[in-house]
Amino acid sequence: MDTTLQDPLVGQLLDGRYRVDARIAVGGMATVYRALDTRLDRVLALKVMHPALAADGSFVERFIREAKSVARLAHPNVVQVFDQGTDGSYVYLAMEYVAGCTLRDVLRERGALQPRAALDILEPVLAALGAAHRAGFVHRDMKPENVLIGDDGRVKVADFGLVRAVDTVTNTTGAVLGTVSYLAPEQIEHGTADARVDVYACGIVLYEMLTGDKPHSGDSPAQVFYQHLHADVPPPSAAVPGLAYQLDELVTSATARNPAVRPHDAVALLGQVLEARAGLSAEQLDAVPPQALATGHHNAEDRTSVIPRSLSVPRPLPVNEPAEYADAAVLNPTSRFERTSQFASEPGPPSRRAPGGSRRGMLAIVTALLLVLGVGAGVWYINSGQFTKVPAVLAVTEAEAKDRLADAGLDTGQVEHAYSDTVERGTVISSDPDVGAKIRDNDSVNLTISDGPETVKVPDLQGSTLAKAKAALEDGGLAAGLVTREFSDDVPNGSVIGTDPEAGTERHAGSAIAITVSKGSPVEVADVTGASVEDATAELEEAGLKVKIASAQVNSEFDKGLVAEQSPGAGNEAAEGDTVTLTISKGPEMIEVPDVVGDSVDDAKQTLEDAGFQVDEDRGLLNLFGNTVKSQSVDGGDTAPKGSTITIEID
């Protein structure tokens, strides 16, 4: 069942600009939709806070803080925020739309990944977090669900909704934020967080990618909390024998329970990851996890088949590196790793370490900084000789991509075409092998070229039932949007009058189409108040309407058992088959009549009217100028129907 059809926002235009086309995901604080920016004709993601939370100032403040924080992180591996605003009860963020899947989806489908694929994912994640840490922010909620893998292979970090300033001491006041499996011990025990909690979470994510399981488990969050506080994360080779000791070192270093001995931020951990990768052989990087061998989720000819497309991001054009980063990397290369340098010298036989370790360490540090700065957001391979890397060909024209391949000594293989909502028509969506992959000289690279957004024509649905109309839209690559109902003398009740946009209009595949359904010819509702239930029911049913009797009865001017009220009221228009609700009278309300004999006429009338009666004066022919009440039609102290008329005789 497509639950987006019941979502009131789907098919609507939010803030006069963003057309909501489909619901993507629902979280505890917000719902994410795919939408179209009608001003820029750009597909994007809208994150809309749940209306019930929008009334809470602290939630709104936290939501807006996400927009301001992420907007400052102009990095290719961070999901960008374009806009923030409100529309009535809706508070929203307009963000970059990433078509693809999450790391959680990959792990759920594939289980453990090959080390090469795991590092290919981890490096751009650390580059994104490193940029955040250097900008003064910590994510605090790193987990596979927040790692997006685009269809083009790009890796992006999402959901900075829990970010805080790094130099701000934060306290959850008992409500621990984040997902329990990835929380650092200091978050659990003290409720505080700095950049090292992201380092810890990335270590847990790396363990999960290498083994297919989380390191700590339990029947309750409390049991997981206890293990985070009192048990070290085991080396991944304990679960997957044969994994290289360098991978064990990375996990153990990042997940140290004492934050003082962890890499102090994502940049430092990224340097360690790159240095570890440089010391691994191709066989160690491409080791197939045992469960992949058992299930057949591996391919000896495709080292990255465990994940969709490439998980390496092509390098943008070089930029000038800020002097303070360059100086820190070149003049004092060990300062960022002094807390963990002793760890690197203990395990593993010396014969397994690559020669020239200091030079490789220097290169790893500089590479990590370049990745954080966005100069190189993909994987750096240190190799030479008969291998070359696939050059950056994404988002360039087919002709330019072929020229770049030729310049790199590579041939252009098959050229395929595919629709894309995000990649400009005529430019490259993806390559196979992926950008940055090492292949032999003179090998071929296949290209996929964008045909732009896929468009389909809105079908003619007039006269169809609503169910058939929805099915026709789905079959045509569209979705049913807002359904409204109108009277029509020409189209039978329940059949489609038309659509918005109208039939024949071209729209992007997946767009929501509003449907107008006929309520048939209008039926004027007769006035049946004061009639018996039997007579009222017969008259209404004869007009094609249904009748419902309200459970509660009311006092009214009508006698007990007669119709006192009806909804809709007399004279309103209803559709054939609509229901009219009848409320039955309990008879008039009896109230006590005040004694006004001897009062002046004005005082008597005021007293009786205040009590709920109408007043009639009887002066006779001889008392035209009298002003005293001689008698009243209902004696004072007796009861009479509320609203009835009391006649006063004037003397």
| CATH code (residue 151) | 1.10.510.10
161, 276: one domain? yes
Please tell me whether residues 107 and 173 are part of one structural domain. Answer: yes
The pLDDT assigned to 442 comes to 80
161 and 185, same structural domain? Answer: yes
Do 149 and 196 belong to one domain?
Answer: yes
Q: What is the pLDDT of residues 597-632, one digit of tens each?
A: 999 999 999 999 999 999 999 887 666 778 899 999
Q: Does residue 541 carry a pLDDT above 90?
A: yes
Pairing of strands 147-150, 100-102: antiparallel
When computed from its CA atoms, the radius of gyration of the chain, rounded to whole angstroms, is 37
What is the average pLDDT across 163-180? 44
DSSP state of 232: P
CATH number at residue 51: 3.30.200.20
Residues 336 and 393 in one domain: no
pLDDT at position 546 is 95
pLDDT tier for residue 202 given thresholds of 50, 70 and 90: very high
Among 518, 540, 573, where does a domain finish?
A: 518
| Token pair in block for residue 196 | 């090292």
- Same domain assignment for residues 191 and 133: yes
Least confident of 51-65, 306-320, 325-339, 373-387: 325-339
Contacts (Cβ under 8 Å, ≥6 apart) of 157: 77, 78, 79, 125, 128, 129, 139, 142, 146, 147, 148
pLDDT for 443? 86
Could you report the per-residue pLDDT of 48-74, keeping only the tens digit for each? 988 777 777 777 777 777 677 677 777
> Which is more confident, 444 or 7?
444
Sequence letter at residue 506: E
Lowest mean pLDDT among 69-78, 507-516, 541-550, 553-562: 69-78
In this structure, is residue 504 part of a structural domain?
A: yes
Q: Give the pair of three-digit tokens for residue 246.
A: 């360098």
Which range (71-85, 337-351, 359-373) has the least confidence? 337-351
Residues 69 and 107 in one domain: no
Q: Which of 141, 198, 248, 434 is catalytic?
A: 141
The pLDDT assigned to 503 comes to 94
User: Hey, which residues does 391 pair with through a beta bridge?
Assistant: none
Is residue 379 situated within a structural domain? no
Residues present in the chain in total: 651
Q: Which amino acid is at 542?
A: E
Domain boundary among 395, 420, 450: 450
Would residue 377 count as lying in a domain?
Answer: no
Write down which residue in 331, 348, 372 finishes a domain.
372
- The pLDDT confidence band at residue 367, using thresholds 50, 70 and 90, is low
* In a shared domain, residues 368 and 406: no
Q: Which residues contact 544 (CB under 8 A, 6 or more apart)?
A: 523, 576, 577
pLDDT bracket for residue 172 (50, 70, 90): very low
Given a contact cutoff of 8 angstroms between Cβ atoms, the answer to whether 336 and 267 are in contact is yes
Query: DSSP states of 43-66 as a string?
Result: EEEEEEE-HHHHT-HHHHHHHHHH
Q: 558 and 529 in contact (C-beta within 8 Å)?
A: yes
Tell me the mean pLDDT in the region 630-651.
91
Q: Is residue 354 pLDDT above 50, yes or no?
A: no
Q: Mark whether 610 is an active-site residue.
A: no
Element holding 617 (H helix, E strand): strand 614-618
Q: Which residues of 125-135 are buried (b: 16+ CB within 10 A; e: fewer)?
A: bbbbbbbbbbb
Mean pLDDT of 217-239: 83
For residue 290, is pLDDT > 70? Answer: no
Angle (CA) 477 423 126, round 5°:
115
Distances (CA, A) of 453 to 23, 90, 115, 117, 150: 19, 29, 35, 30, 16
Lowest mean pLDDT among 52-56, 86-90, 474-478: 52-56
**pLDDT higher than threshold 50 for residue 108:** yes
pLDDT digits (tens, 9 = 90+) for 571-602: 999 988 899 999 999 999 899 999 999 999 99
Q: Is the pLDDT of residue 418 over 70?
A: yes
Low-confidence winner among 54-63, 95-104, 215-224, 361-370 (lowest mean pLDDT): 361-370
> CA 424, CA 419: separation in Å to the nearest integer?
10
pLDDT value at position 176? 40
Same domain, residue pair 126 and 222: yes
Answer yes or no: is 329 within a domain.
yes
Is residue 350 predicted with pLDDT exceeding 70? Answer: no
Query: Residues 152-171: what's their mean pLDDT?
Result: 62
Domain total for the chain? Answer: 6
**Predicted local confidence at residue 600, as pLDDT:** 93
Q: Is the pLDDT of residue 465 over 90?
A: yes
Q: What is the pLDDT of residue 346?
A: 34
Please give the span between the terminal C-alpha atoms of the chain, in angstroms, as a whole number.
80
* 250 and 107 part of one domain: yes
329 and 365 Cβ atoms separated by less than 8 Å:
yes
Task: Check: CB of residue 168 under 8 Å from CB of residue 71.
Answer: no
Q: What amino acid is encoded at 280 in this protein?
A: L
Confidence of residue 369 (pLDDT cuts 50, 70, 90): low
Predicted pLDDT of residue 321: 32
Percent of the chain predicted with pLDDT > 70: 80
Domain containing residue 613: CATH number: 3.30.10.20
Check if the beta carbon of residue 510 is closer than 8 Å to that of residue 480: no
How many Å apart are CA 198 and CA 130, to the nearest integer? 10
Q: Do 215 and 307 belong together in one domain?
A: yes
Cβ proximity of 458 and 502 under 8 Å: yes
Q: How many CB atoms lie within 10 A of CB 239?
A: 17
Residue type, 48: V
Query: Lowest-pLDDT range, 296-310, 322-336, 450-464?
Result: 322-336
Whether 86 maps to a domain, the answer reads yes
**Which of the 8 DSSP states describes residue 407?**
H
Return the pLDDT at 379. Answer: 33
The answer on pLDDT for 218 being more than 70 is yes
Residue 509 lies in domain? 455-518
More confident residue, 64 or 277: 277
The answer, yes or no, to whether residue 168 has pLDDT greater than 90, is no
Task: Establish if 381 belongs to a structural domain.
Answer: no
pLDDT at 448 over 90: yes
Domain identity same for 617 and 580? no
User: pLDDT, tens digit, for every residue of 9-37?
Assistant: 998 999 999 999 999 888 777 889 999 99
**Does pLDDT of 314 surpass 70?**
no
Report how far apart, in Å, the C-alpha atoms of 89 and of each of 56, 93, 256, 480 are: 11, 14, 44, 24
Over residues 455-475, the mean pLDDT reads 92
